Amino acid sequence: MFEQVKSVLYVRLPCWKIYPGGVIYVADYIHKQRPDIKQEILDLAIIEPSQRKQTLKSRIESMQPDMVAFSWRNMQSFGPHPEDDALDVVMNFDHSPKPWRRVKAAFSAMKIIYNYSASRMRNFAFMHMVRKMMPDTRIVVGGTAVSIFGKYVAEKCPTNSVVVVGEGEAAMLSIVDGEKVTIGECYCKNDDGEVNFTHRQQNFKLEDLSSVNFEYVESIFPAIHQYTDDYVGVHTKRGCPYQCHFCLYNKIEGARQRYRDPIEIVDEIEKLNRRFGVNKIWFTDAQFCSTRRSTHHVEEILDEIIRRKLKIKWTGYIRLNYLTPVLAEKMLVSGLASLDLSFTGTQDIINSLTLGYSLEQQMQAFQMFKDAGYTNQKVKLYMPLNAPGETATTLLKTIERIKELYNMFGRENVLPFIFFIGVQPGTPVEKLLLEQGYLKKDYNPLTLNPFTIKKLLYNPKPLGSVIARSYLKAVDSLGTNSDYVGRVTMDLIEQELTSPQQQFSVGRLLENMS
C-alpha cells in the first residue's frame, strides 16, 4: 500500500502543437473525485527546446509533487506529421529522378531518425531527472505512444514507475489513492526494477465523465489559451467494434463502445465556446459516427447543438454505414466543417483490410449529403493506397470513384490525401507481412534502421513506384498549378497506368500482381 498522493504534476512531453485533451480529461476527473489534491499541468510542447529541461526542473523544485505523470504522444518516426514529412523524404529517396534530391532526402532521413532517437532518449532523461531530484516521487507514464509500446517504456523507466496502457482516469485514481494493485492495464516497475503487468478488469464507465470544469483547468494550466484559436478535441465515446487490419483502437480502448451523456458533451462544447471563444471542434473518437447505436447517439448530440444555436464548426473521422437523410441534414445544420473518412474505391480492398462497410452504401451516403443541403464543405478522403491486395486495376477503380465525387461536390472541394499504411505491432497487417516475409520475424518496431523504417511505411513495388513518381511530379507542378497535390497525384497515376506508351509496362504490372 502506497501513501495517498497530495500533489500531481502532469508533464506533457514534447510533440507538435496539438490540444492536450487526454491530460486535461484526466486532471479534471481526478479533481472532481479528489478535490483536495493539488494539480498542475506543464506542457513542454509549447516551450522552446533549449528551455524545457530547466523549466521542468524549476517546476519540480517549486511544487515538490508527490507524483509526476508524463503524457507521451508519439514514439515512431515513420508517421508523417507537421514537424517532419517522412512520406516526402522516403518518396524522394527511393524514386526521385534527380540525384541531388535523393542525396538531400538521405540527409533529411538521417535528421528525422536522429530527432526520433534523441527525443526518445530525452523523454526518458526527463523521467530520470525527476527520480534523481525526488527519490520518493511516484512516476506515471501514459499517452498514445505508451499504449502501443508500454512494455518497452516500462523497461526504460526509473524505478517506482507505473506505465498506463489505454485510458487513464481509473488507473490514475487508484494510484493517487495509494492502492496496492493498480486498476486498469498497467506495467508497474517496483523499487527493485522488476516489471509486473496488471490486466484490465473492466473499462472505465464513460458515462461518469461529466463536462470539463474549464475554470479549474485554466487555474492549473493557464497555457490552455495557446490552443483555443484552432481545433479543440472533445470525445463523445470510446471503443471500436471494428477490426481494421492496420488499427489498434479496438485493443487500446476495447471493442465495446461506451458513450458520454450528450448533454455533458454539448455542455463542454458550449463552455469552450463561451469561455475561450472556441468555434472549431474536433471529435476525437476512433470514429464519430460508426455503428447503428452510435448514430443515434450522434443525433442526440447534434440535436442539442442545434437547440442551443451554437455557432461552431465541427468535424472528426466519420463512418457513413448508417447515415440517413435526416442525420445528414442535422450534420450540416449543426456546423459540419468537412467530411473526413477512409476511402478506397473497390470493395475488394475494403474487404481485405476488413474495414467493415459497403462501398455502394458509402457512395449513397455521399449523395445524401449532397441532397441534404451541402454547400462547400471539404470532402477529405484518407486513402490507404497500395495496401496489401492493391493492384493497378483496383487503383484505377478508386480513381473512377473519386471522379464521381468530383462531379458530385465539385473538384475543388474533394481532397484525396495520399498516405500509406503504417505498420503497427500487434495488428493483423503486421501478422500478414510477417507471414509473407516482407518483415523479418525478429524485426524491431522501434528500430533506428532506416531501411526497416521505410518498410513500416508500407508502399512496396511495383505500384509504389508509380504512386511515388506521380506524387513527386505533382509536388513539382505546384509552382505553376494551384490545384491540390492529392488531386494532381491521382490524375498523374491514371495517366501513367492508361497512356498508350505505358501499355506494355502496365500489362507486365498486372501480370506480376495477379
- Please indicate, yes or no, whether residues 35 and 50 belong to a single structural domain of this protein: yes
Residues of the chain with pLDDT under 50: 504, 513-514
Residue 110 lies in a domain: yes
Residue 105 lies in a domain: yes
Domain boundary among 181, 198, 215: 198
How far, in Å, CA of 142 to CA of 475, rounded? 38
Domain assignment of residue 350, given as a range: 337-419+461-514
How far, in Å, CA of 174 to CA of 164, rounded? 12
Residue 428 lies in a domain: no
- Please indicate, yes or no, whether residues 186 and 112 belong to a single structural domain of this protein: yes
Residue 433 lies in a domain: no
- Please indicate, yes or no, whether residues 312 and 380 belong to a single structural domain of this protein: no
- Please indicate, yes or no, whether residues 345 and 329 belong to a single structural domain of this protein: no
- Please indicate, yes or no, whether residues 115 and 261 belong to a single structural domain of this protein: no
How far, in Å, CA of 104 to CA of 100, rounded? 6
End-to-end CA distance of the chain: 61
- Please indicate, yes or no, whether residues 343 and 415 belong to a single structural domain of this protein: yes
- Please indicate, yes or no, whether residues 50 and 88 belong to a single structural domain of this protein: yes
- Please indicate, yes or no, whether residues 323 and 357 belong to a single structural domain of this protein: no
Global pTM reads: 0.92
State the CATH number of the domain containing residue 87.
Answer: 3.40.50.280
pLDDT, residue 80, reads 52
Domain count, the chain: 3
Do 150 and 165 touch, CB atoms closer than 8 A?
A: yes
For 67, other C-beta atoms within 10 Å of its C-beta total 22
- Please indicate, yes or no, whether residues 50 and 130 belong to a single structural domain of this protein: yes
Residue with cell 491521382: 490
Residue 217 lies in a domain: no
How far, in Å, CA of 57 to CA of 75, rounded? 23
- Please indicate, yes or no, whether residues 322 and 363 belong to a single structural domain of this protein: no
Domain boundary among 335, 350, 381: 335
Residue 446 lies in a domain: no
- The one-letter code for the residue type at 494 is E
Residue 462 preceded by cis peptide, ω within 30: yes
Residue 284 lies in a domain: yes
- Please indicate, yes or no, whether residues 87 and 165 belong to a single structural domain of this protein: yes
pLDDT, residue 364, reads 96
Residue 476 lies in a domain: yes
Do 188 and 148 touch, CB atoms closer than 8 A?
A: no
- Please indicate, yes or no, whether residues 258 and 366 belong to a single structural domain of this protein: no
State the CATH number of the domain containing residue 281.
Answer: 3.30.750.210
Residue with cell 513542454: 44
